[in-house]
């Protein structure tokens, strides 16, 4: 394998890894936070160096208690009652094609 093919494989592998990480983070936020919390907790020990403990404390995910769509906080406006449409909905009418 020459250098160009190796570089191409590395770039593609990095792009796929980034896309998988991004999708995992967006589609499974609770699981992502839980796994991140467990991973960072391993670095936050008294025996770890100070800089590593500081990094672990900064990387620790914030608590997400409250503020979800099910608690009715109405901060985002998404839970508010839906506005009634001003135009009455009309049913769709399907007509067969005219013969040629």
Contact assessment for residue 43 and residue 55, using Cβ atoms and an 8 Å cutoff: yes
State the CB neighbour count (10 A cutoff) for residue 48.
14
Contacts of 80 (CB under 8 A, 6+ apart): 74
Give the Å distances, CA to CA, from 53 to 41, 44, 74.
9, 5, 37
> pLDDT tens, 3-20?
999 999 999 999 999 999
> pLDDT tens, 34-58?
998 998 888 888 888 999 899 888 8
Q: Where are the domains of the chain?
A: 3-59
- The reply to whether the predicted model has a pTM over 0.75 is no
């Amino acid at each position: 394998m020459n250098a160009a093919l190796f570089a191409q494989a590395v770039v593609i592998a990095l792009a796929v890894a980034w896309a998988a990480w991004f999708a995992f983070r967006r589609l499974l936020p609770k699981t992502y936070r839980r796994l991140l919390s467990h991973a960072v907790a391993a670095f936050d020990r008294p025996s770890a160096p100070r800089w590593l403990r500081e990094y672990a404390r900064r990387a620790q995910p914030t608590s997400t208690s409250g503020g979800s769509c099910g608690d009715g906080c109405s901060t985002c406006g998404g839970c508010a009652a839906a506005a009634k449409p001003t135009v009455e909905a009309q049913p769709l009418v399907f007509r067969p094609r005219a013969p040629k």
